[in-house]
Structure 1
Amino acid sequence: MLATRQAPAPARPEAKPAAAPEPERPGLVRLSDRQIAKAGIRTDAADGGRLFRHLHVPATIVPSANNTARIAVKTTGTVVELRKGLGDRVAKGEVVALLDSREIADAKGEYLAAHVSADLQKTLYQRDKELWDKRISSEQQYLRSQASYQDLKVKEDAARRKLTFLGLGPAEINALASQPEAQFERQEIRSPIAGKVVERRVDLGAAVGRDNLETELYSVVDLTKVWIDLAVTPGDLPLVREGQTVTVRTDATGATAEGRIVFIGPVLDQNTRAARVVAELANPDETWRPGSFVAAEIKVSDKPVRVLVPSEAVQTIEGKPTVFVRVPEGFEARSVTVGRSDDRDVEVTAGLEPGEVIAVANSFTLKAELGKAAAED
């Protein structure tokens, strides 16, 4: 019996040693898109911009003195009708009250008498002039007629000026000839501006006018433009100029708006030692109410820079200013050189190019992750 020889088993290939893991790049923070969103990390591209310096000052919203009117009477009389109440809107030239005044009646009568006399004498003067030109009448007659007309015209003009002073407009004066004499005592009181009634100082039937009587009937304010009263310290005053932009914000609603400086006070307040600076603010929907306290920022400088990033984007790592640049794996810490800064942004002079995407919000989270990874190593 032949013994069979068993063939030797094939030799197994020698196992190769496992490849060493690729070393982690210094400064790399690995995060997925989902992790980035969950951490609230917001990104944006670095870009050029302008650096602004702001002064933060306390401020108050006040009515614009240019848009405020006190409706007053210039003659003595009695209020017979009040057509507006508190909060009512008025148009420019709208009648807001009616007044009965003996003084007005006398002035109207005086004017009409002077007007009729001057008008009649004008006709006589023109007739005498024609006769003199034809040498039908004497020169003496013509000159007497001319002098009489000029004298009556002066009286008519004086009576007209008196009515104007008492508050009558040109249209009202011209219409007096057709007005019934029974209405001569009646005077219409009109608003000189459009706005809202903020104060009514008299009641129906009140005696008004001179001789220690009330003269003001209403206060009207146009709130479509308001003023911002700013208190600026003497040290900051040299930085403030007319025309500079002022941003105001109210803590109550968080609303913001921009105005421009229109006035810088030449003297300091004796109590606060601050200068009064006034900015004008458009207020078409009347949301900014006079008397409100607001926080104000005055933009006092404006400079262009090549690369500008939010201050929150720059973290200090190992004593160096650092930003986190977006890479496919997450973010990479990169040291940069910073220049000037303002209240919100900082200039990057080296280490970052326009267009590179960086973390601009919650970058401190990336700094913490980077520090955690370094501690584990």
Structure 2
Amino acid sequence: MSEKQQFDSALLTPKHWIAVAVILACGMVGGALILRAPQTATQTAAAVHAEDDDDDHDEEGVVELTEAQAKMIGIALAEAGPAVIRKDTLLPGEIRFDEDRTAHVVPRAAGVVESVHAQLGEQVKKDQLLAVIQSAAVADQRSELQTARQRLALAQTIYQREKQLWEEKISAEQDYLQARQALQEAEIAVRNASQRLSAIGVSVAATGGAAGVSRYELRAPFEGVVVEKHLTVGELVNESTASFTISDMRYVWAEMNVSAPQLPLVQVGAPVRVRATAFDASAEGKVAYVGALIGELTRTAAARVALANPQDLWRPGLFVNVEVMTEESQVPIAVKSKAIQWLDAQESVVFVLDDHGYKAQPVQMGRSDAEYTEILAGLSAGQTYVTEGAFMLKAELGKSSVDHGH
């Protein structure tokens, strides 16, 4: 047998076929593993990405904060519930002195200022000394009173003597009657001189010798604050000199102008809320006065609100907004108006507290005023929402959206 025939016979032995089969099987298994590995990695990456998408979806519109972070940005909570919605007419106004509690203190006789005892801005009591003035007119009035008193004393002496003589039948009755008439005229002269001094606010009693005859005092008519002062020592004053202006600042007026179409809505006694434009402050009051005439130039009527001012917040000259309440409505579900936030200037939301954090809850709004906003859909009565710090949550939510977008 040739060598080729011997080699072919050797290939046909069972052992060789078994070896070939094992080699082929191993190759097929290895190829399958190689082909499957990239597919498994792809599937794993897809699964991870899907899980991340699910996590992002779960946290969408939610701001997670720790208790310390919430306290830092001033988060405050409240429960949605019934409230009264007011319909108001808004009028611009200005704080003024209460003219019923403001006095312009002027000298009642011409003279020269001797001393000044009250300063601008000082709180004074009723009858407190403001200034002392030397006046020749006052000296003349006191001299007239003194002369009248001396004549009265003489008339009383003559009357008593004539009365005694007439009763003793020594003198005629006519002398007695003349003495009585002279006494009555002297009494009238003293009374008139005293009244003239009292009318100009001068005491009938002179003090301090000759200098005291011409001196009189300016005193505070009631308790208040010296808001204007126009006196200096040595200044010549007369009856038209505005020396002091004193106002009781515990009460002020908020004055506003009401246009003709608004007059039916602004009535005396209507409740109002006055808000400062320069700082966060408000006060309740009522319309105290509405003018009967409409101004020729402004075409408006003057109106005012009397306000208590215990803390001196309302200073004359301060600009305010006056909200005159014209209608009240009770609504079943409302939130604080400052709790409403707008996302993308289209969707109104309220941040509510849930298990994951502070969630931006879309809401449908109804009637509103400066204090409360009615919620028609999106919140239920008793649901906890954010009243303070909602804007910060909105900013944090916008920041999170930008981060996820990158």
TM-score of the superposed pair, with normalisation by structure 2: 0.63
Higher strand proportion (structure 1 or 2) = 1
Q: In the alignment, is the contact (CA less than 8 A) between 2:118 and 2:129 conserved in 1?
A: no
Q: Residue 289 of structure 2 aligns to a residue in which SS? A: strand
Question: Are 1:187 and 2:202 counterparts?
Answer: no
1:96 to 108, 127, 130: 130
Q: Which amino acid aligns with 2:84?
A: R
Question: Are 1:250 and 2:284 counterparts?
Answer: no
- Identity value in percent: 29
Separation in 1, partners of 2:83, 2:168: 86
Equivalent residue runs for 1:261-300 within 5 Å: 261-300=287-326
The offset of 1:109, in angstroms, is 1.6
The offset of 1:148, in angstroms, is 3.1
Separation in 1, partners of 2:245, 2:373: 49
Q: In the alignment, is the contact (CA less than 8 A) between 2:109 and 2:138 conserved in 1?
A: yes
Question: Per-residue CA shift, 1:185-240, capped at 9, x if unaligned?
Answer: 11222232333434343443233226xxx633233334333222223322222222
Q: Residue 193 of structure 2 aligns to a residue in which SS? A: helix
Question: Per-residue CA shift, 1:117-144, capped at 9, x if unaligned?
Answer: 4456457767888999999998766654
Higher helix proportion (structure 1 or 2) = 2
Equivalent residue runs for 1:271-350 within 5 Å: 271-310=297-336, 340-347=367-374
Separation in 1, partners of 2:340, 2:212: 79
Q: In the alignment, is the contact (CA less than 8 A) between 1:199 and 1:219 conserved in 2?
A: yes
Q: In the alignment, is the contact (CA less than 8 A) between 2:95 and 2:320 conserved in 1?
A: yes
The offset of 1:55, in angstroms, is 2.4
Stretch of structure 1 that moved more, 112-121 or 90-99:
112-121
**Residues 121 and 324 from structure 1, CA distance in 2 versus in 1: closer, same or farther, beyond 3 angstroms?**
same
Residue 205 of structure 1 is matched in structure 2 by 234
**Residues 351 and 135 from structure 1, CA distance in 2 versus in 1: closer, same or farther, beyond 3 angstroms?**
farther
Question: Are 1:157 and 2:191 counterparts?
Answer: yes
Equivalent residue runs for 1:81-230 within 5 Å: 81-118=115-152, 121=155, 143-168=177-202, 172-173=203-204, 175-176=205-206, 180-209=209-238, 215-230=241-256
Q: In the alignment, is the contact (CA less than 8 A) between 2:83 and 2:372 conserved in 1?
A: no
**Residues 42 and 93 from structure 1, CA distance in 2 versus in 1: closer, same or farther, beyond 3 angstroms?**
closer
Q: In the alignment, is the contact (CA less than 8 A) between 1:29 and 1:330 conserved in 2?
A: no
Q: In the alignment, is the contact (CA less than 8 A) between 1:314 and 1:322 conserved in 2?
A: yes
Equivalent residue runs for 1:43-62 within 5 Å: 43-62=77-96
Residue 101 of structure 2 is matched in structure 1 by 67
**Residues 124 and 259 from structure 1, CA distance in 2 versus in 1: closer, same or farther, beyond 3 angstroms?**
farther
Q: Residue 146 of structure 2 aligns to a residue in which SS? A: helix
The offset of 1:104, in angstroms, is 0.7
What are structure 1's unaligned runs of at least 5 residues? 1-27, 373-377
Separation in 1, partners of 2:110, 2:159: 38
Q: Residue 111 of structure 1 aligns to a residue in which SS? A: helix
**Residues 335 and 77 from structure 1, CA distance in 2 versus in 1: closer, same or farther, beyond 3 angstroms?**
closer
Stretch of structure 1 that moved more, 129-138 or 267-276:
129-138
Q: In the alignment, is the contact (CA less than 8 A) between 2:276 and 2:318 conserved in 1?
A: no
Q: Residue 255 of structure 2 aligns to a residue in which SS? A: strand
**Residues 306 and 154 from structure 1, CA distance in 2 versus in 1: closer, same or farther, beyond 3 angstroms?**
farther
The offset of 1:162, in angstroms, is 0.9
Q: In the alignment, is the contact (CA less than 8 A) between 2:64 and 2:358 conserved in 1?
A: no
Q: In the alignment, is the contact (CA less than 8 A) between 1:30 and 1:330 conserved in 2?
A: no
Separation in 1, partners of 2:119, 2:359: 67
Separation in 1, partners of 2:373, 2:180: 83
What are structure 2's unaligned runs of at least 5 residues? 1-58, 402-406
Separation in 2, partners of 1:145, 1:328: 107
Q: Which amino acid aligns with 1:159?
A: A
The offset of 1:77, in angstroms, is 1.9
Separation in 2, partners of 1:346, 1:328: 25
The offset of 1:158, in angstroms, is 1.3
Q: Which amino acid aligns with 2:274?
A: T
Separation in 1, partners of 2:237, 2:74: 68
Q: Which amino acid aligns with 1:104?
A: V
The offset of 1:161, in angstroms, is 1.6
2:258 to 232, 235, 239: 232
Rg comparison, structure with higher value? 2
Q: In the alignment, is the contact (CA less than 8 A) between 1:309 and 1:346 conserved in 2?
A: yes
Q: In the alignment, is the contact (CA less than 8 A) between 2:133 and 2:217 conserved in 1?
A: yes
TM-score of the superposed pair, with normalisation by structure 1: 0.67
Q: Which amino acid aligns with 1:226?
A: V
Q: In the alignment, is the contact (CA less than 8 A) between 1:53 and 1:343 conserved in 2?
A: no
Separation in 2, partners of 1:315, 1:201: 54
Q: In the alignment, is the contact (CA less than 8 A) between 1:46 and 1:309 conserved in 2?
A: yes
Q: In the alignment, is the contact (CA less than 8 A) between 1:30 and 1:329 conserved in 2?
A: no
Separation in 1, partners of 2:361, 2:126: 64
